[in-house]
Structure 1
């Protein structure tokens, strides 16, 4: 009895806070417990020299002396097999070592936990999500099967998600190579009982088709919220598995039900191969997203960019098309006809979702092709004057910057200042208008008829400009009925842009709210750049591809040039700093291109 007691005590030994790999000399710090199985535990692990984060799988030693593994032991087989695998959809193996009490495996860290955790929060997943995850699983499983390896324990808790929401197959503790006949370990019953294939419960051994069966159980579970063969008395459950008897999920789509039936065919020969699985109508006739947002870990993602933003938008659109007859400011592609087809709006073009057509600063010598432009209209009864005053002011400010200082190898360090910015916009100008979200939390729409409406924080005051210089303000509940359709579009645009900003990360630091009469005077859209000219003299230029933005605010010696590029903080430089230090050729090239757009308008 005493040896058994000692073994139990040793298997319960705590894992040290600091661990050293004697082979590489690396020192690691053990973090929190992130998973626990029947034979092992998993911890967060940090390399003390690089701060790289890993997952640490810890298996108690079963004997054989300090640092030694039993020859042909289970853990040794797992290490030998897993360390030979390299695939983006399989948890990466980075190394292993052992001490007197434990064997340690250093693995890729998947910060979004597993699909089991996700399903516990979500209850069920949508079909597009399931297609996304299954494509990744099938890719990793195909890699295993090509190497004659069967996983033998495919289940949701063994599918891990990294921070990019990429799915990874993990826990290869039961994985094994199949023999010449395509089977392994006849008579052995291992794996999760209610995910076992009929041939396995009949003790005919695992094959690659046994993993296919498990995919059917997984597909059923994530779509319905419960497994096809609920845990119960083993004899009854195994009989249902052998005959393929499970509750028919009548609420699922026909394609989903058909694929489940194919995967859960009792005869292994009738189950589809992995390649044929992806050719099933469930995949070919349904939308599969290229990626998923992290928020889908706790709430269903919204895959559709609503073209008319639902039936409400269609009704609002009809009103707007009747009210907003464009005079001259807008030059988008016009409706090709009338009737219902003419009422269908163009798809929204989002700043963060537009195709990246340029990977560097645009060529200022290239011809300018404007896709659309618009302007706030002037009062016909007002004093005569140039409607291009804001364009001329922006041209002067760009020339001041271009004349300042020499070319530099990089932009000056600058400083972070609270400047007006439009981090999100939507171009729906060919039907309704151009919407934008400001860095102070406000939002606005320059409508197709040349009018402007904005929501100003705090309190959501509605500011309306029927023409330049004529500001009308209302509390939201007292907006005149004739402006109701425009307010509805403004609110819909605002809700959508705010949701996009929330998904992209934490909100920007709060800023002082802009003046009530601040508005977008004019915008220009080309394949390379979006130019926004605001009533306070601010100009913003946002370039596609390079994900670069620049802004000009103030005037004269108080002029500020603000630069932002992907992965770098936004910084501002005064005209004096530009004279002293100059700025990079790329920023200068972008300014020249913005100048060319303005001069060609």
Structure 2
């Protein structure tokens, strides 16, 4: 029978009016209640008839003890417990938007933007539990609740266990069939620990994106058989990014010791390649986010402070463990997506706030680097996180935070961020680039026409998206105008590039827009045929510039790290010779001159030891975890054999839809977040296009123009606009 309409807490002399049923499980039912002050809460009601055994009573006591000791925005808030003659009542925070089971009943499945928003919060909540030696053991959609503002809460600690000492293993078989980890079912001799929650995270993420659990069948024994065999697949009709597939695959590893830990998941490309919204509109409860809502969310989201190239993201059985074993977990200030009320709990995710490269003995030239992000976190206003346009500091404090807020209001910011590492026209050009759209990635539920319309702007009311032919024609006009150009403009750009080359570049935040433009604007005619080889360009990269720098691998097999102090190490393809590059000011002219020092991995100055160690970390991580953007070069034998005068990254710049790299060999490369790449070589006469399947095509620009492929032309036009 249902509990009485009025509940009496005799000890606290409190009464509650019992309202409607919220849900029920195997051992309890949950009702909405309200106290005389009008505060609405939830009451978990356990019948005393189900508590006749000592084991059942002990389990309830353990649940209350665990839950009442938890205090985190990712966990349903515990208020208190009381009893009457018939029931025990656990009074909890009311999550008015119910559970993710209810959400998926309406929505069927979620898109990656939404999953990224909620999985980030779920990871933070699970990390808090594990840090406090709690295994939940029943993480599932039905135990994940949504508050009024659509924040996620973890609830129901009926099967939770407390780990009393390191190495302790639990041997109770418990959980929900679709979500149980294989070691719980089939390795009771060795037992289980925190890894069972990691497995459940994989099931949850898969279910959110696909719309059903990965091992779902109608017969429980068949579910267990599929779990034992790790037999699941990604439906071909549902498009998922490599990052999403890679993260799910790593979470659902059969061997618990091979699953990633929580701290490393915060740095997984699924989170770092794309921004995470700060909020979600209530409309997502019934329908997917529209293109317009997505743009609004991206406009006010925190920037993706750094990460791995989307096209080079870990996949398959890749282990998303960070490249630096000593690296601390990212703090809430380092990553987006945390609701403001979570800021007071930043200590659970906090990392030391020492300057970049402190371990190497250098600091970034920007004074903001030493301040960290504490100023933002300390304020009750909306936190401001800055994206990296260069390798300068990402900290926003004082007036820069106010400027960032102003940039968001006028829509000129880069994914809702403000770039402190720029000045003059370079900054305005980055803002202009951020305002230009680009088709959403393959995981977005939009048509090709709608995506093309998003590139051009919104589709007029009552109108239709422009045709592919008209888009191609427009793109061709823009590219031809860009390539032919004006003689005066080209010479001006060349002069600007020469001036930029002569200027000191010791400050990593001082990026030269003219230097980026010059190699492209000096093309004399579209008819000028270029070579049919793409030259050397970046095939893998990982941005760890919130602490050390940006690591990359070139197509010829060489590896480099662009450190936060503007120095660079480039390791030759033979994995033995390397060059250390830095700028040195000449006393006579006060000009900064590039200095190259040649060393080997067996003989180098002691002061380079830590940077060489970091180089090896980056190289190992990229080799083991990241896909190449394309096949290795078979046309760069001379470049691969080089041990001196190695190609290296000179500058990089984040835009709203991708990252621009400038290499010392005059190659300009645009990596877009939709997994495509445009590489401009030989003064842009030669163009290399890498599609979403990592298929590479290199030919003269004129050939691409004559083919008229809208996909290629739009990306070339976007490259032109950004540059």
- Pick the structure with greater CA Rg: 1
